[in-house]
């Protein structure tokens, strides 16, 4: 598939190699968007699901390389790919395996801290409970942590739009007069309660998110769910300003107390809000390849507002979103960013350190040998490894020169 990528990824480039070697984070990574093709083929065989098993056909349906520089961005096609992956993630064994393999893939490119997110309701088609699903994810991640030098966290997602999945369809059957909007709000509230309950049981649970179609589904509709998460001390990150304007980000940070923003691609369209987000040190989880694939405003990486955000000193962290659909890794995303915006390794190190400084924490397990303690240790180790102070001085110096 490599030849279809408009930006040439030269794995022999010393810059690529240097980025690969650096300790990194991935704070925005969807479990159902980050399966290996080999695993998909294996699971199709094992589960007897009727999908093509031909690798080329599968890649065509699942990998969106050709959409990066295209004017035609088909969100429909992008989302259809998730129908395939989710169909294969309806039993605990497969879910655990996929979580394990994702952490393994990340560890193998020196990602030291990974936050994996998923919407439990999407895995309820065959009767699994939300608790069984989340426990399977945590188990898979814990298994990878034993084997590799990686710390992981879990973000539980509620969905903005009505999803015709097991649990939600059952709800409609039981309550025939309920409308889609009310059903999705109810499910979000349930998911928030689930996130709080699981955070008390498993140190991996570090956040609550709202994902899905932004248009016509404003975040403020889900205020009750966010209230439950906040009162339960589960930190909030929200997909906002990806497919909708800055008002979506306004709702996320003002109405719903988001501690981080997923994407925030349209934040630059409101200067005042951008200043607020910068001053509040609210990090943006930037997934540049994914944005190029779904946002019709961009046909070149250089058109993405990332550089503007960096120049405005916004806390931006580079993430993968969907390793499978976007055919990417953290190394690749950082390399693309460096190439597109002509950044040196010091700038890349600052982006990486933003990731380590923006990790979410589970406050129910503060003193045990858990992600919290491991993350703190990791952060100070990485700060030394990245030579953070020097990198920061150099980057600040380059900004000062530019603004003189």
Alpha-helical (H) ranges within 148-283 are 166-174, 180-201, 223-231, 246-250, 271-279
Classify residue 115 by its DSSP letter: E
CB of 33 to Zn ion, least distance (A): 8
- Smallest gap, in angstroms, from Cβ of residue 155 to Zn ion? 10
194 or 260: CB nearest Zn ion: 260
What's the closest the beta carbon of residue 352 comes to Zn ion, in angstroms? 20
Min. distance of Cβ 97 from Zn ion in angstroms? 22
Task: Determine contact, residues 263/319, Cβ cutoff 8 Å.
Answer: no
Q: How many CB atoms lie within 10 A of CB 180?
A: 13
Per-position x/- string for 97-136, each x denoting binding to Zn ion as judged by CB under 5 A, each - no binding: ----------------------------------------
Which of 65, 321 has the CB closer to Zn ion?
Answer: 321
Nearer to Zn ion, 157 or 229 (CB): 157
373-380 long-range Cβ contacts below 8 angstroms, 24+ apart: 374/151, 375/113, 375/151, 378/23, 378/112, 378/113, 378/151
Shorter beta-carbon distance to Zn ion: residue 30 or 315: 30
Its sign, for the CA torsion 362, 365, 366, 369, is negative
Compute the least distance from the CB of residue 239 to Zn ion, in Å. Answer: 5
DSSP assigned state of 215 = T
Residue among 321 and 346 whose Cβ is closer to Zn ion: 321
Distance, CA of 99 to CA of 136 (rounded, Å): 8
User: Residue 378: which residues within 8 A CB-CB, separation 6 or more?
Assistant: 23, 112, 113, 151, 356
Considering only residues 309 through 348, tell me which ones interact with Zn ion, judged by CB under 5 A: 321
Instruction: Tell me how many residues contact Zn ion (CB under 5 A).
Output: 1
Catalytic residue among 96, 145, 168, 242: 242
- Compose the 47-86 pattern: x for residues touching Zn ion by CB under 5 A, - for all others: ----------------------------------------
| Residue nearest to Zn ion as judged by C-beta position | 321
Does residue 168 carry a catalytic annotation? no
Q: Helical H runs in 48-74?
A: 55-62
Closest CA to 31 of 112, 107, 88, 109: 88
| Active site residue ranges | 242
Residues that bind Zn ion (CB under 5 A): 321
């Amino acid at each position: 598939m490599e030849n279809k990528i408009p930006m040439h990824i030269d794995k022999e480039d010393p810059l690529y190699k240097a980025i690969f070697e650096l300790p990194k984070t991935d704070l925005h990574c969807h479990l159902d968007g980050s399966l290996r093709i080999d695993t998909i083929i294996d699971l199709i065989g094992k589960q007897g699901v009727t999908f093509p098993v031909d690798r080329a056909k599968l890649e065509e349906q699942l990998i969106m390389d050709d959409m990066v520089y295209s004017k035609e961005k088909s969100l429909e096609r992008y989302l259809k790919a998730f129908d395939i992956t989710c169909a294969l993630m309806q039993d605990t064994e497969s879910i655990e395996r996929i979580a394990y393999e994702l952490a393994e893939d990340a560890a193998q490119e020196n990602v030291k801290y990974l936050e994996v997110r998923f919407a439990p309701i999407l895995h309820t088609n065959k009767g699994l409970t939300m608790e069984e699903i989340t426990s399977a994810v945590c188990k898979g991640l814990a298994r990878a942590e034993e084997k590799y030098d990686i710390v992981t966290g879990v973000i539980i997602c509620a969905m903005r739009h009505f999803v015709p999945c097991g649990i939600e369809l059952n709800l409609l059957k039981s309550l025939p007069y309920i409308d889609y909007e009310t059903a999705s709000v109810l499910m979000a509230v349930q998911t928030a309660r689930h996130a709080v309950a699981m955070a008390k049981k498993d140190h991996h649970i570090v956040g609550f998110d709202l994902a899905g179609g932004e248009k016509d589904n404003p975040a403020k509709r889900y205020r009750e769910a966010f209230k439950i998460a906040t009162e339960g001390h589960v930190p909030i990150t929200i997909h906002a300003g990806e497919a909708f304007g800055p008002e979506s980000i306004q709702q996320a940070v003002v109405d719903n107390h988001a501690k981080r923003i997923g994407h925030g691609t349209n934040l630059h369209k409101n200067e005042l809000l951008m200043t607020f987000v910068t001053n509040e040190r609210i990090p943006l989880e930037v997934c540049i390849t994914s944005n190029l694939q779904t946002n019709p405003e961009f046909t070149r990486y250089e058109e993405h507002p990332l550089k503007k955000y960096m120049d405005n000193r916004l806390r931006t962290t580079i993430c993968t979103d969907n390793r499978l659909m976007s055919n990417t890794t953290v190394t690749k995303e950082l390399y693309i960013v460096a190439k597109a915006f002509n950044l040196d390794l010091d700038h890349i190190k600052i982006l990486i350190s933003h990731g380590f400084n923006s990790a979410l924490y589970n406050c129910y397990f503060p003193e045990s040998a858990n992600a919290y303690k491991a993350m703190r240790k990791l952060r100070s180790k990485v700060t030394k490894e990245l030579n953070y102070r020097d990198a920061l001085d150099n980057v600040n110096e380059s900004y000062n020169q530019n603004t003189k």
